[in-house]
């Protein structure tokens, strides 16, 4: 009976180990989500920043003066700075808690990168959703003519922001001035994505030039894919440093 217990225990351990290896990046993302739902640091600070920013914009600029191009630009300004406020924590928290060495022992660089990327992607989409809802609440006179293309534009840009935040977060995690470095290093990488996002959002609001909106989204998707692929290769060198 004891021998059977040992055999079953060994079998379960091996099965769990293989599942952990197979879904390693999901385990990393799940760990970060559990920690985030426990302390709610990133979610709280980004949602608070989004609320304060849209409130200030609402009181500063009369609704009748906001046109679709300005509306699109303001949305992406809020999304960018909200992302820079909260999304640097994925690797910084590992360094502060001293858990980064354990993560290096039990997982591979690619699994860590894509696990952190998945976590940042969920946070990025949450920030984008919160920003859109706030703007729709405060500036209800602005109507979205092509809602599905508007959503696609927001998701495409969110993917790129998540990829950039993951690699830049890993680079600055060992720096002394982490908070200042994150937006400084992220902005040059994200400028093409933000410009395309603003243009695609503007055209989806006014409901014309659908071919140009699709073109912008294809460029955003391609740029995000290139950014994530390049970051995953560079991450191995950053991770082992």
The residue written with tokens 């640097």 in the block is: 88
Query: For the whole model, what pTM was predicted?
Result: 0.83
Domain segments of the chain: what residues?
24-240
Q: How confident is the model at residue 139 (pLDDT cuts 50, 70, 90)?
A: confident
Interval 61-66 mean pLDDT: 75
pLDDT in tens, 208-219: 777 888 888 899
Distance between CA 6 and CA 188 in Å, rounded? 56
- Residues of the chain with pLDDT > 90: what percent? 12
pLDDT in tens, 229-241: 999 888 888 887 6
CA-to-CA dists, residue 154 to 12, 20, 97, 121, 200, angstroms: 43, 32, 33, 12, 9
> Could you tell me which of 232, 88, 225, 86 has the C-alpha nearest to residue 160?
225
pLDDT in tens, 21-59: 446 778 888 888 888 888 877 888 888 888 999 888 888
Q: How confident is the model at residue 226 (pLDDT cuts 50, 70, 90)?
A: very high
Confidence (pLDDT) at 23: 62
Sign, CA dihedral 170-175-178-184, equals: negative
């Amino acid at each position: 009976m004891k021998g059977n217990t040992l055999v079953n225990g060994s079998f379960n351990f091996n099965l769990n180990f293989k599942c952990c290896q197979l879904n390693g990046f999901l385990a990393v993302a799940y760990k970060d989500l559990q920690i985030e739902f426990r302390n709610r640091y990133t979610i709280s600070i980004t949602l608070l920043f989004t609320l304060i920013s849209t409130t200030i914009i609402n009181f500063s600029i009369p609704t009748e003066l906001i046109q679709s191009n300005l509306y699109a630009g303001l949305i992406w300004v809020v999304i960018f700075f909200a992302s820079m406020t909260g999304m640097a924590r994925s690797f910084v928290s590992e360094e502060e808690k001293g858990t980064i060495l354990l993560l290096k022992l039990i997982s591979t660089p690619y699994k860590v990168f894509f696990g952190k990327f998945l976590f940042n992607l969920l946070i990025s989409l949450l920030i984008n959703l919160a920003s859109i809802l706030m703007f729709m609440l405060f500036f209800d006179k602005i109507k979205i003519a092509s809602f599905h293309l508007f959503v696609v534009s927001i998701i495409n840009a969110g993917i790129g922001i998540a990829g950039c935040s993951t690699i830049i977060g890993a680079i600055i995690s060992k720096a002394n001035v982490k908070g200042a470095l994150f937006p400084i290093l992220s902005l040059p990488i994200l400028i093409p994505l933000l410009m395309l996002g603003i243009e695609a959002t503007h055209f989806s609001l006014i409901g014309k030039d659908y071919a140009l909106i699709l073109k912008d989204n294809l460029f955003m998707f391609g740029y995000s894919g290139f950014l994530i692929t390049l970051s995953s290769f560079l991450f191995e060198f950053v991770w082992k440093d």
